[in-house]
Chains A and B, each alone.
Chain A
Amino acid sequence: MGQLSGPTDPAADAHWEHSHPRKGFFTDTSICIGCKACEVACKEWNHNPQDGNLELLESSYDNTGALGASTWRHVAFVEQGRERIAEARESGRALVNLGMPPIGPPSAAPAIAPDLAEVDTTPPDTADFRWLMSSDVCKHCTHAGCLDVCPTGALFRTEFGTVVVQDDVCNGCGTCVAGCPFGVIERRRDGTVAVAAEREDQHAQHPAVPNVGIAQKCTLCYDRLVADETPACAKACPTTSIKFGDHDDMVETAKERVADLHAQGLTEARLYGANELDGVGGTGSVFLLLDEPEVYGLPPDPRVPTADLPTMYRRAGVAVVGMVAAAALAFLRGRA
């Protein structure tokens, strides 16, 4: 058993002897144009079936809804007015002024974030409206809740530090679904979808859905990584909003990018998942966001539940002792 929380190299922690660099994504939402090429490329490469019925969700251009068993990239669309933009800028500014220390070796982070309280941060083009677009994906956490609680060993840590389900081992117990603090992994339903009558030609016959009843999520294209290929989503992204590479480089790139945006006065820019001291030991997929994480459907302070497992086992042990003591007392009293 490796570490349950805190900074670590997850592949080494999982006893991989060959040291491959940890791989990850950097999703820069400031240059996402919401084209959903990543969603499509992911579906095609991974043969993921249709997710539910084809319906309009009334949430801007997002009709996918959320990550799930058959949706491993999900592009969120958020429409904001002047007031909300100002709030985002303010919450970002508060974050900068909180004096968040730079992470990583000192040489890697030369630029100390400037105190922006005194700087005129009026952006060059103050918007009355903005559209946030963000391609969400599995975080491939350093301490992955799903992997920790999997009873069969179906979920495993790859040599690239990513987290992957073995479809032929998973028995669909569903514990990982509840174990993920980001709501990523899901058990695949039978995929039966109601077919609209007028679309009979195109949709009347769905191909058989693979891996029904089994937990499914992004593999960071494990099958492509072993062939030294870029994951399908990053390959398809036309704006390089989705970047793929060594995790350390991704974090470095993310820090440079957020510093650039801050220098332009865009204090709303912030990183998500780049801190190895956070509740999941840092994520393999790092994001640059332009508002609070919950605006994008991300948890503001996720914590891997297993970090508290030693406490839980201890408390359960005390409870068991109490139960046995109560039984002993009941029989001793009966004897007296």
Chain B
Amino acid sequence: MVPEPEFTSYYGRPVVKPAPWGDDVAVYLFLGGVAGGSALLGLGGQLTGRPTLRRNARLSALAAVSVGAVALVKDLGRPERFLNMLRTFKVTSPMSVGSWILSAFSTGTAVSAVAEIDRLSNDRLPLGPLRSVLRAVEGPAGFEAALFAGPLAAYTAVLLGDTATPTWNAGHEELPFVFVSSATLASAGLAMITTPVREAGPARTLGALGVVGELIAMRVMEHRMDPVAAEPLRQGKAGAMLKWSERLVAAGGAGTLLAGRSRAVAVASGLSLLAASALTRFGVFEAGLSSARDPRYTIEPQKTRLARRRAAGITDDSITTAG
């Protein structure tokens, strides 16, 4: 007989430790997504002859990734050592892989955005002979940034999934879909705000696709997770944020369908999508941290899965043994 899982703990103290990450990291989750999606929109604008969309998306990508990177560095215990992130490449470390993705993405994004800034300022940047080089490489740089855009939006989901933090780990299979959807709708929302309705058609379509993706991915994730580990997604601050995120996603999604007619509607639904994405990231982030603080979320799902394996006849893989 396998005893029924029941919950005991050591004076109610946590088993695992929450990541020592502040809101800076949640801000980066959001901005990294905005940057990635914007680079894709920038490349689309570049390839389909939409100069305003291209310019705005490239500038958005640079702004988002710059602020995001600063937030990341600020959150380190030793910010002055941030370059140690690039002293090795470790495929087992999503943080290492992500640091290289971020670096590669930022390179292409910076080159293509500087080209836009130079054009905006009527060639006043002190580039000298480098101007012709910049013009020659800005197109390929747009491609390079777009190549790393998806990975930039998705790796943060792996970063959270690859932890012992119960709610993040339990969602590891679906979190990448939630995060790329959130990145997609946020960057589309930003483009709808910055770019006139005439050129923002693809952004509206992309926003609508992101909305559908996020609504589905979030539901599938909650459904497939261990029910106990999923609780923090519905409770407290995190639960409230995710509930509002869902409402704003739906509102913004409806807005994308109408935004072709009015800039005001486009701006409103764009803001709604951006806010929704920020709330999704903060909500998932917060839910994970709170799941680590309560031993129940570590112990109960583990007891359940251990009991399930034993009931299925697998009795040789427990950390606790009789001899």
Contacts and interface: CB of A to CB of B under 8 A. Distances in A.
Interface string B279-323: 000000000000010010011001101100010000111111111
Interface residues of B, number: 98
Contacts of B91: 1
Contacts, number: 335
Contact of B322 (A95, A185, A273): A95
A35 interface: no
Contact of A330 (B85, B153, B203): B203
Interface stretch (A21-29, A236-244, A305-313): A305-313
A165 to B, nearest CB: 12
B231 interface: no
A127 interface: no
Interface stretch (A175-183, A198-206, A221-229): A175-183
Contact of B299 (A111, A151, A294): A294
Nearest to A326: B209
B90 A330 contact: no
Count chain B CB atoms within 10 A of each CB in A59, A212, A300 and give the residue with the most: A300
Contacts of A293: 319-320
A299 B176 contact: no
Given A275-B318, A295-B8, A312 B92 contact: no
B15 A275 contact: no
B9 A297 contact: yes
A255 B85 contact: no
A331 B9 contact: no
B319 A272 contact: yes
B87 interface: yes
B48 A335 contact: yes
B315 A100 contact: yes
B16 to A, nearest CB: 4
A172 B22 CA distance: 13
Nearest to B11: A59
Nearest to A139: B319
A297 B77 CA distance: 27
Interface of A: 1, 4, 57, 59, 62, 65-66, 68, 76, 78, 90-92, 94-96, 98-103, 109, 111, 113, 145, 148-154, 169-175, 177-183, 185-188, 212-215, 255, 258-259, 262, 270-275, 277-280, 283, 289, 292-302, 305-306, 308-309, 311-313, 315-324, 326-331, 333-335
- A-B interface, 8 closest residue pairs, ranked by CB to CB distance from nearest: A172-B77, A213-B77, A297-B10, A320-B150, A171-B81, A151-B96, A178-B163, A178-B19
